[in-house]
Structures are given as structure tokens and as C-alpha cells.
Amino acid sequence: MVKNILILNGSPKKNGNTSTLVEWFVQGASLNGGKVEIIRTALLKSKSNGCISCRRCQKLKEYECVINDDVKEVLKKMAKADVIVFATPLYFYGPSTQLKLIIDRMFSLYKWDNSTDTFESPMRGKTMVLLLSAYENIGLDIVKKSFALIAGYSEMKFKSLLVPDAGESGEILKLKGIREKAIALGKKI
């Protein structure tokens, strides 16, 4: 079965370390016929709209966000994809803002029933991948843990590739073995 892979690249750098990681991952995924779409979340319009916790999504039949901006369409694509790849540089020991705002808007992809402490979600059963690059080697495990928790909560499979010591944008190319690892992960997914 051909997999639909949606890549959300949260780096503001078009040719930076994260974009290079994404490129390598896509090379691998393409080897096995994966259908890939890449969205650079830093380029979305109305990008300042984080989740406003209005909870109106919980009253809708559809898994949709009521905020009418570009993220709304991204969320629809997330609901349909088989694999969701979150790619981000490490920013102050967390994902970039440009990616985090998408994650918070994922609230609309769950319907919670507090009376039974259960939820329904199209996220269930999908695969989540985290691609993370950082200048040094501190705190990447914290970000991995937080994404693994989201995946676990959502009953998604989880894979990650963490790249410490990637240096400044563009310097990931100097690291040995990362290209091969990223291609292998894409191929496996």
C-alpha cells in the first residue's frame, strides 16, 4: 500500500539543516514509493494563530478547527495522512514556534468525552516521525520525550532521528553518517 507522508517542516531556513534532513528522508521514502507532501510551516499565512482554546471544535461533527487560516487546511491534510513527519530545529530546548503552533491546533483532531475519559481521533494508528537538528548535544531527548508522549497518547507509532552537533544552518552536511540514517528511516517508513 502506498503511504501518504505529510512532512511539516518547522524551520524558517529554506536550505538549513532541517530542510536537508527532510530532503534525505524524502529520498529514502521515495525509494519505496511513498507519496510525499512537504509543508514549510514558517511560510503559512496568518501564522500567528496558535490555538485559542475556544473549544468550538469539540462541538463540530467534523475534525476541523474553526480558525479560518492556512493551518486549518494543514490540519485536514494531517487527518488524511498515513505518516506525519514533524521536522524542526531545536529552539531553546523545544520545537520551533512555527511548528508548535500546528501542534497546539491539533486539539481540533480529537473529540474528547470527559464523562467516560475517552476520545476519538483520526490520528489513531498513524505513524509519527520526529526529525530534529540542534547546534549542540543538550536537550534533544526532552523534545523526543514530548513528541513520544503525544504519539503514545494518540495511539500513533513513533520514530525519530535526532541530530545533535549539526552546527549552524548548512553545517549538517559536514556530519558523517546522518544522510544514510535519514535515507534509511525514510525508506523504512
Ligand X SMILES: Cc1cc2nc3c(=O)[nH]c(=O)nc-3n(C[C@H](O)[C@H](O)[C@H](O)COP(=O)(O)O)c2cc1C
Q: Which residues bind ligand X (CB under 6 A)?
A: 11, 13, 16-19, 89-93, 133-136, 166, 168-169
Q: Pick between residue 26 and residue 123 the one whose CB is nearest to ligand X.
A: 26
Q: How far is the CB of 143 from ligand X (least distance, A)?
A: 10
Q: Pick between residue 17 and residue 154 the one whose CB is nearest to ligand X.
A: 17
Q: Own/partner pairs for 149-155, CB < 8 Å, 24+ apart?
A: 150/103, 154/110, 154/121, 154/123, 154/124, 154/126, 154/128, 155/123, 155/124, 155/125
91, three cell numbers:
529552539
| C-beta nearest to ligand X: residue | 16
Strand 4-9 and strand 83-89: the pairing is parallel
89, three cell numbers:
530545529
CB atoms within 10 A of CB 4: 16
Q: How far is the CB of 103 from ligand X (least distance, A)?
A: 17
Q: Pick between residue 16 and residue 28 the one whose CB is nearest to ligand X.
A: 16
31 neighbors 25 (Cβ within 8 angstroms): no
Q: How far is the CB of 131 from ligand X (least distance, A)?
A: 10
Q: Pick between residue 56 and residue 174 the one whose CB is nearest to ligand X.
A: 174
Q: How many CA atoms lie within 13 A of 18 on its CB side?
A: 29
Q: How far is the CB of 140 from ligand X (least distance, A)?
A: 8
Q: Pick between residue 91 and residue 158 the one whose CB is nearest to ligand X.
A: 91
Q: How far apart are CA 175 and CA 167, in angstroms?
A: 9
Q: How far apart are CA 21 and CA 7, in angstroms?
A: 11
Q: How far is the CB of 3 from ligand X (least distance, A)?
A: 25
Q: Pick between residue 132 and residue 185 the one whose CB is nearest to ligand X.
A: 132
Q: How far is the CB of 134 from ligand X (least distance, A)?
A: 3
